[in-house]
């Protein structure tokens, strides 16, 4: 477990360093994810090593958003007079984006014959 | 016997109390979600956040004090993002087969998320500087904050709008995609990851492992795409 955690943190650290050094517009952990994916693809030993720890972390991914969510409650007043407009914009645009994205996926999958086997 | 206030003020000095209460609130939220067969509105994050917000309010605890304990949980967001490589790796042959629909849905989902939000907000009278904080709301918080700052928005407001978007996406995704008759778990997951980043991805993992993996892909790719499209789309509204 400790080796897997070390490797995950090393990937994150490398990702943060790359982002800082090259000024990428993405967060370090996203680069770290790409790096770990490349390492797993290169070595089944690494893939099997990391898998159980990663799956444990991801099983409770929701928990990790709780502290940030609590922070938002205190800042809801910041929305001020525009609260209603912003709430409507978020609700409607999120619904539209989900449906548009999912329908596009299904339609293009049908066109390109990449339906799920 | 020392009174409760003394014990409380002693315990509240360290990170243990709020770290523990964060986990307790989440376990309670998760149990409630489980008891309702994971009904969309009984979202474990929303329940835990509400419980903790009430506790902070009753005990008059500032967020900074709460965060001293909660930071240990918050920190794990980075490693968990790295860990998304695992479902990505396990699904890589399916991803390769679906690369064209993935990229198409990413492009459409990302542009609709930014464009429709700005259109609606402007129609309802929201000012341009607030629009700059709203534009990146579908992408993961660190990226959104960077984009909003680059556009002249407020980082705090951007973070608030990001979290609200994530919770909204997690709440509406299941009933909405059922109503839209989308049965393909890849399509459902990807669309939610693009529109509602990590909180949507966390929800997708609760529903189906394939949906979770594709949501993670959608979230990661949209972090890159939003950084490119948000400034361009915002320019159309100024």
Strand residue runs (E) in chain B: none
Q: Do B63 and A74 touch (CB under 8 A)?
A: yes
Q: Do A88 and B124 touch (CB under 8 A)?
A: yes
At A24 the pLDDT is 77
**Whole-angstrom distance, CA of residue B161 vs CA of residue B46:** 15
The pLDDT tens digits for A77-107 are: 777 788 899 999 999 999 999 999 999 999 9
Report whether pLDDT(A117) > 60: no
Which contacts qualify for A74-79: CB closer than 8 Å, 24 or more apart?
A: A74/B53, A74/B63, A75/B156, A75/B157, A75/B159, A75/B160, A76/B160, A78/B154, A78/B156, A78/B157, A78/B160, A79/B157, A79/B160
3-state secondary structure of B235: helix
Q: How confident is the prediction for chain A on average, in pLDDT?
A: 90
Which value does ipTM take for this structure?
0.89
At B6 the pLDDT is 83
At B132 the pLDDT is 92
Q: Do A27 and B46 touch (CB under 8 A)?
A: no
Q: Do B159 and A68 touch (CB under 8 A)?
A: yes
Which residue of B120, B160, B187 is in closest CB contact with A102? B187
pTM attached to this predicted model: 0.86
Residue A44's contacts (CB-CB under 8 Å, 6 or more residues apart) are none
Q: What are the backbone angles phi and psi of residue A43, rounded to the nearest 5°?
A: -140, 120
Q: Do A90 and B161 touch (CB under 8 A)?
A: yes
Residue with tokens 């994810």: A33
Write out chain B's pLDDT in tens, 238 residues: 668 788 888 887 788 999 999 999 999 999 998 898 877 778 888 999 999 999 999 999 999 999 999 999 999 988 998 998 998 898 888 888 899 999 999 999 999 999 999 999 999 999 888 999 999 999 988 888 888 888 888 888 888 899 999 999 999 999 999 999 999 999 999 999 999 999 999 999 989 999 999 999 999 889 889 988 998 999 998 7
Chain centre to alpha carbon of residue A65: 12
Asked whether B139 and B222 are in contact (CB, 8 A), the reply is yes
Q: Is B138 on the interface with A (CB under 8 A)?
A: yes
At B49 the pLDDT is 93
Within 10 Å of residue B212's Cβ, how many Cβ atoms? 26
At B51 the pLDDT is 95
Q: A100: nearest CA in chain B?
A: B109
Return the sign of the alpha-carbon dihedral for residues B9, B10, B14, B16.
Answer: negative
At A92 the pLDDT is 97
Q: A62: nearest CA in chain B?
A: B202
Dig out the tokens for A81 from the structure. Answer: 């007079």
User: A46 to chain B, minimum CA–CA distance in Å?
Assistant: 10
Rounded to an integer, the average pLDDT of A40-65 is: 91
Q: Do B180 and A103 touch (CB under 8 A)?
A: yes
Residue B12's contacts (CB-CB under 8 Å, 6 or more residues apart) are B59, B61, B65
Contact list in B for residue A104 (CB cut-off 8 A) is: 101, 104-105, 107-109
User: A17 to chain B, minimum CA–CA distance in Å?
Assistant: 14
Report whether pLDDT(A21) > 90: yes
Q: B70: nearest CA in chain A?
A: A67
Which comes out higher in pLDDT, residue A93 or A65? A93
Dig out the tokens for B166 from the structure. Answer: 């994530």
Contact list in A for residue B116 (CB cut-off 8 A) is: 89, 92-93, 96-97
Residue B188's contacts (CB-CB under 8 Å, 6 or more residues apart) are A102, B173, B177, B182, B204, B207, B208, B211, B214
Asked whether B21 and B52 are in contact (CB, 8 A), the reply is yes
For chain B, what are the domain ranges?
4-75, 82-237
CA dihedral A100, A101, A105, A107 (to 10 degrees): 10
Find, among B50, B95, B65, the residue nearest to B215 by Cα.
B95
User: A21 to chain B, minimum CA–CA distance in Å?
Assistant: 16
| Residue-wise DSSP of A47-74 | HHHHHHHHHHHHHTGGGGGHHHHHHHHH
Residue with tokens 């952990």: A29
Residue B10's contacts (CB-CB under 8 Å, 6 or more residues apart) are none
Q: What are the backbone angles phi and psi of residue B15, rounded to the nearest 5°?
A: -80, -10
The pLDDT tens digits for B82-120 are: 998 998 898 888 888 899 999 999 999 999 999 999 999
* Interface mutation vs chain A, best among B23, B24, B66, B86, most A CBs within 10 Å: B86
Residue B103's contacts (CB-CB under 8 Å, 6 or more residues apart) are none
At B220 the pLDDT is 85
Which residue of B101, B134, B147 is in closest CB contact with A112? B101
């Amino acid at each position: 477990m400790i080796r897997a955690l070390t490797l995950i943190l090393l990937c994150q650290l490398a990702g943060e360093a790359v982002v800082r050094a090259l000024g990428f517009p993405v967060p370090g952990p996203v680069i770290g994810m790409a790096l770990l994916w490349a390492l797993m693809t290169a070595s089944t030993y690494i893939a099997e090593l990391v898998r159980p720890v990663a799956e444990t972390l991801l099983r409770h991914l929701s928990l990790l958003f709780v502290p940030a969510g609590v922070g938002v409650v205190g800042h809801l007043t910041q929305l001020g007079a525009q609260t209603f407009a912003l709430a409507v914009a978020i609700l409607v645009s999120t619904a539209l984006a989900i449906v548009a994205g999912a329908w596009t996926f299904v339609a293009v999958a049908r066109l390109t014959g990449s339906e799920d086997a | 016997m020392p009174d409760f206030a003394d014990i409380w003020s002693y315990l509240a000095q360290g990170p243990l109390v709020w770290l523990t209460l964060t986990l307790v609130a989440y376990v309670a939220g998760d149990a409630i979600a489980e008891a309702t067969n994971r009904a969309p509105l009984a979202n474990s994050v929303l329940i835990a956040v509400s419980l903790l917000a009430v506790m902070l309010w009753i005990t008059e605890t500032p967020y900074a004090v709460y965060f001293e304990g909660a930071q240990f949980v918050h920190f794990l967001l980075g490693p968990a993002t790295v860990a998304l490589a695992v479902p990505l790796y396990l699904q890589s042959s399916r991803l390769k087969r679906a690369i064209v629909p993935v990229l198409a849905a990413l492009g459409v989902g990302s542009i609709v998320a930014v464009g429709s939000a700005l259109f609606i907000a402007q129609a309802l009278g929201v000012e341009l500087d607030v629009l700059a904080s709203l534009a990146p709301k579908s992408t993961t918080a660190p990226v959104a904050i960077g984009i909003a700052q680059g556009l002249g928005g407020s980082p705090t407001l951007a973070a608030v709008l990001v979290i609200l978007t994530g919770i909204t996406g997690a709440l509406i995704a299941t009933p909405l995609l059922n109503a839209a008759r989308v049965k393909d778990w890849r399509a459902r997951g990807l669309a939610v990851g693009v529109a509602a980043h990590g909180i949507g991805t966390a929800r997708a993992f609760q529903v189906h492992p394939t949906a979770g993996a594709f949501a993670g892909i959608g979230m990661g790719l949209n972090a890159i795409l939003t950084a490119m499209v948000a400034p361009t789309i915002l320019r159309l509204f100024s």
